[in-house]
Amino acid sequence: MKYTQHNPLPIPESGAHAKVRATIDTVFDWEYALREQGMLALYEKGKAQNWNATELDWDVDVSIERMMADRAAVGGGNLMNQLLNPPKELPQDEVIRLNLHMNAFMLSQFLHGEQGALLATAKIVQTVPDEESKFYAASQTMDEARHVEVYHRYLTEKLGISYGVNPSLQTLLDQIIEDSRWDVTFLGMQIMVEGLALAAFGMQRMMMAGEPLIQDITTRIMQDESRHVAFGVVSLEKLYAEEMSAAELREREDFVIEATHLLRERLLMEQVFERLGWDVKLWTEWAQETPFMRGFRQMTFSKIVPNLKRLGLLTPRVREAYAKMDLLRFENLKDSVEEPEPQPPQELVQLLMQFLQENVATPAAS
């Protein structure tokens, strides 16, 4: 745990600590029935796949600038201009700068989301009624502490750039922690936040293929998160299908719709454009409309939608909201119990393949 913070994370104006008042019922399970074998299997899997941050190669030299320059040398120098079509053509140094800050922003939000998951799963241990769920949530709490550890070290020791929590993400995390209903904590954290993060990790791994340390970190965390999301699905499936009234389900629908709007806003990166001194309105509109960024934003819901469908929460009201956001394309994909890792949408893959064919293969042929 000894490392040098070359760039401590920004402290918000409200101060270094934030208090969220949560009124919850802490539940003892005196039966210890341990009926849910699927949950216990996840618990055993989590114990078997445990890992330590000290196993990572922290001595590796991390330089995103060098990685981007190497890409430029084989035809990738105009990645932002040719693939992402920004509102103005960027010189190579600005392409590198933007990519560095976008990467730092996403990793910073991963860090803040993992701290939210740490608090939420500790809360789940207290509030969930069955013992097997308490077991798994306790093991996940350890996972989340490890995730906070490695992301914080990577950002402060290796990357040198970091961002505070995005306001939309903070709002959602506060709502999840404040809510007294244990299933809403599951729904908000395990299904929505971690479901989105799992897909975003996959994109991060694809875009940072030349950086071995973040590849190792991301692969390990994705292995953990795939179990965590499956935990949420297994825990809520029977509850929502058999035990909730129509009025209670409507409250969950409202929560899902609001959480989806907050998570989509999180990905627009206004904080990046503000720090770079660029026109925030212009670049935010670009982030909303350019095909690559839109494809990335859509991909992050590729596990959330089928998981909601499995839970019975892809109701007519949620479907209507998701249709407006063009998210229903994912409803027939496999959920997190059937297939742990998300698959990138075909249009995003096609954009990348077209770019590589036009800008990497051509110089080699000549």
CA 169 to chain centre: 11
Q: Provide the residue ranges of all domains of the chain, joining segments of one domain with +.
A: 62-365
pLDDT for the residue numbered 23: 83
Q: How many CB atoms lie within 10 A of CB 327?
A: 23
pLDDT for the residue numbered 362: 45
pLDDT for the residue numbered 356: 55
Three-point CA angle 6, 116, 20, nearest 5°: 110
What whole-number distance in Å separates Cα of residue 70 and Cα of residue 208?
Answer: 12
CATH 1.10.620 fits 62-365, yes or no: yes
pLDDT in tens, the chain (366 residues): 778 787 788 888 888 888 888 888 899 999 999 988 988 998 999 999 999 999 999 999 988 778 777 766 655 556 667 777 888 888 888 888 888 898 899 999 999 999 999 999 999 999 999 999 999 999 999 999 999 999 999 999 999 899 999 999 999 999 999 999 999 999 999 999 999 998 888 878 877 878 899 999 999 999 999 999 999 999 999 899 889 999 999 999 999 999 999 988 666 889 999 999 999 999 999 888 887 777 777 788 888 999 999 999 999 999 999 999 889 988 998 888 887 666 655 656 665 666 556 554 444 443
φ, ψ of residue 3 to 5 degrees: the values are -155, 160
pLDDT for the residue numbered 64: 78
pLDDT for the residue numbered 363: 44
pLDDT for the residue numbered 345: 56
Instruction: Give start and end residues of each alpha helix (H) in 186-301.
Output: 194-207, 212-238, 246-266, 270-276, 280-289, 291-299
Q: In which element (H, E) is residue 105 found?
A: helix 92-127
